Amino acid sequence: MSVISIQSQVAYGHVGNSAATFPMQMHGIDVVAVPTTLLSNRPGYPTIRGRVLEAQLVSDLLLGVEERGAVETSSMILSGYLGSAEIAAVVADFVARAKARNPKLAYCCDPVLGDRDRGLFVHADIPPLVRDLLCPLADIITPNHFEFEWLCGAKTTTLDQMIAQAQTLLARGPSPIVVTSAELADTPDNAIETIAIEQTNNGVKAWRVRTPKLPINPSGTGDLFASLLVSARIGGADTPEALGHAASAIFAVLERTALAGTEEMRIVESAELLVHPKRRFDAVAVG
Sequence spans of domains, the chain: 2-285
Asked whether 140 and 174 are in contact (CB, 8 A), the reply is yes
Confidence (pLDDT) at 158: 97
Query: 53: which DSSP letter?
Result: P
Each of the 287 residues of the chain gets a pLDDT tens digit; together they read 899 999 999 999 999 999 999 999 999 999 999 999 999 999 999 999 999 999 999 999 999 999 999 999 999 999 999 999 999 999 999 999 999 999 999 999 999 999 998 999 999 999 999 999 999 999 999 999 999 999 999 999 999 999 999 998 998 888 899 999 999 999 999 999 999 999 988 899 999 999 999 999 999 999 999 999 999 999 999 999 999 999 999 999 999 999 999 999 999 999 999 999 999 999 999 97
CA atoms of 216 and 22, how far apart (whole Å): 22
pTM of model > 0.95 = yes
Residues 231 and 27: beta-carbon distance below 8 Å: yes
Fold adopted by 2-285: UDP-N-acetylmuramoyl-L-alanine:D-glutamate ligase (3.40.1190)
